[in-house]
Structure 1
Amino acid sequence: MKRVTTPLLRHWQYFLVPLLTLFFPAMGQDARLQSYIEDGLRNNQGLKQQRFILERNLFALKEARTFFYPEVNFSTSYLDSRGGRKISIPIGDLLNPVYSSLNELTNSSAFPKVDNVSQTFNPRNYYDAKFRTSLPLYNAEITYNTKIRKEQIHLQQAEIDVYRRELVKEIKVAYFACQQSDEAVRILESAVSLARENLRFNQALVKNDKAIRTVISRSENELIGLEARLGNARNDAVNAKAYFNFLLNKPLDNALEIAQASELVSFTDSAAEGRREELLKLESLSKINALSGQLARAGALPKLSTFIDLGSQGDFVNFNKDTRYYLFGVTLDWRVFANNRTQYKVKQAEMEQKATGEQISQVEQQLQLQNKTAANTLQSAIQTYQAAKSQTTLSQQYYSDQQKLYREGQSLYIELLDAQNRLIADQLQQSISYLNVQTRSAELERARASYLFSN
């Protein structure tokens, strides 16, 4: 039988590259991934929403501070009425007898008769326009409201940090998923090429009466199955890249630079454990509850303020020195009785603060459990990956041996197919195991809050 050049040697790099790269760290991978993380932190829509909420809270703090300053308001009113209640003023009855006596004494009519007056209570053709300047002299509620607004900013900042850490983890996991999907495509593309070479080799054997036609049918079926799996793998790769672009807030079909998967020097997370932002959120919430209790107590304190009005009032359109006026005053507002309303509000704030304290204790335990679970899961993933890597190496050697035996006519084609399928399955499993290691590593980093943000 004529010796045919083995297709395994022709496609050796497709099987060796995934294995050899495991022992050499990719120098550019971290920089490329870090660049995508920074893009996501800048452009992610969910993070932008959280930042808008933070800006809203900043404006709310500025608004609260304005209550310490004077406030100037302009108000005006115009009144005109007809009818209604009246008051009778007997001017004529009082003055007419006197005027008559004066006319008789002076022998003249210089003093005419006067009619009685009927004056309505409602003003007629009357206006009042004024500028009122008011200033709080003492109001404890304004002070505590301002402190609450300030603490709400800290709460929202912690919320943003929580979202950022979760986003970093999601971007890393999505990036590793893109790596794994590309690796699966490369493995299956290599398998399809090998299947085509095997089909051509078997066709040559049948043509030279060295094998029966069954091997051709089996080769064709194997090729069809691998091509179908390759099509599915390519679709999975497209979907993985679309989701990755979604996290970056870029067009879903945007081109990406995804490095080939390569093992890091060490999977151990040596970074120092950081303070979880979830606890910072709860601590800020506890402070807000404490301030709310103080705000409730402040409602029972007196409120002292002053004001001055500068205006004009009189008949409509008239404006002169007689219509102009100023009014200065000091006001004291003190709630004397409200049926224990203040005490009830204080109790509500105290209960909320106690509930938040219990929640902090519970979350601390949950985070400790999450940290320990993530570390153990990562160790298990590393062991699984190392086992898969060893299995792939054995499958590679077994396939090479079966390929050699089949070329020499010392084994059946079904044994070669079995070795090939086992090799493909082990390579895919190794790729998935490596993705699992990277994913668990990102989860441990998230649990420890060890990722350092640039700003």
Structure 2
Amino acid sequence: MRTALIILSFLALFLLPEKSRAQQVDDYIQLGLKNNLVLAEKNLSLDKALNGLKMAKNMYLPTIGFDFTYTHADGGRSIDLPVGDMLNPVYNTLNQITQSNAFPNIANEQITFLPKHYYDAKIRTSMPLFNADIKNNKAIKEQVVTLGQKEIEIYKRELVKDIKEGYYTYMSAADAVAIHESGLQLARESKRVNEKLLDAGKGLPAYVIRADAEIAQGEAKIVEAKQQQQNAKLYFNSLLNRDPQDAIELDSTLLSNKTTVPDLNSTFAEREELDALETNIHIQELLVKMDKQVFLPKLNAFVDLGSQAEQMRVNSQSQYYLVGAQLSIPIFAGNRNKLKIQESEISVAEARNKLDQAKQQLQLAVQVASNDVIAAHRNYESSKIQVNAAATYQRLIQRGFNEGVNTYIETIDARNQYTSARLANNISTYRLLVALAKLERESAAYPLD
């Protein structure tokens, strides 16, 4: 409980400063969430999953298609019809009775089985009446969409942390440049004083030479610090998908403001990773359900409206309609369905095991992040004391040197101590902010839209 209160007090001091700073950092975060390329790719994947869900829903709708078949054949099997042999004697008798030729003789017929110049054109409408696979597939697609949404939220939280760390790194590098430039000014002032003392016959040439060396060393450190600042700038702008040389606004009130924060409790219960793993378990369970329903019948209905005839004739006799239903029931598949069910059940067990592992890892991560915040804050408080002590010591030594009490070497040592203390305070300050950003990430505390 005491640890949690300490962490909350740290958060109150550093994590959520007042409006000016929060607005500035949040603007960069919102810009990153809008422009980041990896996030854009994940949004495209989510759009694909949403499109798959729409397709699964549309499986319930009927399908309508037009089919046209044209065939022509000659030869093949045939059947002889002796209609002439059967009817010609009758026709001859009728002609004799009527004393006319009203009933002419006809020839025997040969009917082939293969049609000649035959067509069949139809519009078929089919619709599933009962199909468990369609229902289960729709449910799985819904879970895939949910999983995609959780993956986006997971990356957003990671991106927020990276943006904050990148911003703090740039701020630290900028402060380091300012610290080295301040030290360089002190070295140049020391050289000016020593040159005047030398001109007055009270100084030593060695002091001027030492001052030149100190100035050269300070200039080299400034070049190195500016290079680190430039690298931090490139990385930060890449996170925001901006031009690498875009300016980054510095926040001079980064640690000077205080406000209240909600009770975060430093838990991992809000982590989207857990929701994603729960969704994965649900998907695997739906696959088991689908595999177990493999023996359920599938019933489809269809209606055909068309025309069929030879010689491309279209009339009332060629037109037709056909209504039907198709029932499909699997009976035996060599136990493959049973083995598939067992495989899916193993996948469910694996998914549950991953969830248990994730809970354990996330709990550890939150505890480690909390400990890092406590340690970083202690170092930060210690560094502030060191800065104050080094500043006081440097002033006293410089005053003593001006009065002829202390040596020039002591002033150099005092300035170096002061510069080192300021650099250490700079590092500890931003390490604390980075530790707070990591704790915020591990506890899923940053509010996402």
TM > 0.5 fold call: yes
Seen in structure 2, the aligned counterparts of structure 1 residues 188 and 241 have a Cα distance that, compared at 3 Å, is same
Match of 2:396 among 398, 401, 405: 401
Answer yes or no: is 1:254 the counterpart of 2:246. yes
Shift of 1:447: 1.0
Aligned-residue Cα RMSD (Å) equals 2.4
Q: Could you tell me how far 1:194 is from its partner in structure 2?
A: 1.6
Name the counterpart of 2:440: 445
Equivalences for residues 333-352 of structure 1 within 5 A: 333-352=328-347
Deviations along 1:93-128, whole A, 9 cap, x unmatched?
Answer: 552475367448747876346255262x44332222
1:86 paired with 2:81, answer no
Partner residue of 2:179 out of 183, 187, 192: 187
Given that residues 298 and 328 in structure 2 are in contact (C-alpha distance below 8 angstroms), is that contact kept between their aligned partners in structure 1?
yes
**Equivalent position to 2:47, from 55, 58, 62:** 55
Match of 2:37 in 1: 45
Question: Which consecutive segments of 4 or more residues in structure 1 shift more than 6 A?
Answer: 266-269
The number of aligned residues is 428
Q: Measure how far apart 1:90 and its partner are.
A: 2.8
Tell me the distance in 1 between the aligned counterparts of 2:432 and 2:142: 42
| Partner Cα distance (1:133, 1:98) in 2 | 46
Give the whole-Å Cα distance in 1 for the aligned partners of 2:414 and 2:437.
Answer: 35
Aligned-partner Cα distance in 1 for 2:262–2:431 = 15
| Equivalence map 1:296-307=2 (5 Å) | 296-307=291-302
Identity %: 33
SS in 2 for 1:130: strand
d(CA) in 2 for partners of 1:410, 1:330: 110
**In the alignment, which residue of structure 2 is the partner of 1:374?**
369
**2:104 corresponding residue in structure 1:** 111
Pick the aligned partner of 1:216 from 204, 208, 222: 208
Q: Distance in 1 between matches of 2:19 and 2:190?
A: 37
Query: What is the rounded CA distance, in whole Å, between the counterparts of 1:98 and 1:269 in structure 2?
Result: 106
Gap regions ≥5 residues in structure 1 = 1-20
1:233 aligns with 2:225: yes
Partner Cα distance (2:375, 2:319) in 1: 87
Of residues 24, 30, 34, the one that matches 2:22 is 30
Task: Determine the structure 1 residue equivalent to 2:198.
Answer: 206
What SS does the aligned partner of 1:319 have? coil
Amino acid at match of 1:191: G
Partner of residue 283 from structure 1, selected from 278, 284, 300:
278
Q: Could you tell me whether the CA contact under 8 Å between 1:26 and 1:262 is conserved in 2?
A: no
Match of residue 99 from structure 1? 88
Letter in 2 for 1:111: P
Q: What TM-score do the two structures reach when normalised by structure 1?
A: 0.88
The corresponding residue for 1:8 is: none
Task: Quote how far apart the aligned CAs of 1:167 are.
Answer: 1.1
Mapped contact 1:269–1:445 kept (Cα < 8 A): no
CA displacement 1:206-239 (0-9 Å, x = unmatched): 2222222222221111111111111121122122
TM-score, normalisation: structure 2:
0.89
Structure 2 gaps of 5+ residues are 1-12
Amino acid at match of 2:284: N
**Structure 1 residue 268 displacement after superposition:** 9.2
Distance 1:82 1:223, change over 3 A: farther
Q: Which amino acid aligns with 2:290?
A: L
Q: 1:70 aligns with which of 49, 62, 77?
A: 62
Pick closer, same or farther for the CA change 1:375–1:305 going to 2, 3 Å: same
Q: Is the 8 A contact 2:117 2:312 kept in 1?
A: no
Distance 1:329 1:444 in 2: 65
Structure 1 residues 44-68: Cα deviation after superposition (integer angstroms, max 9, x where no partner): 2222222222222222111111111
Amino acid in structure 1 at the alignment position of 2:80:
P
- Cα distance in 1 for partners of 2:114, 2:30 equals 71
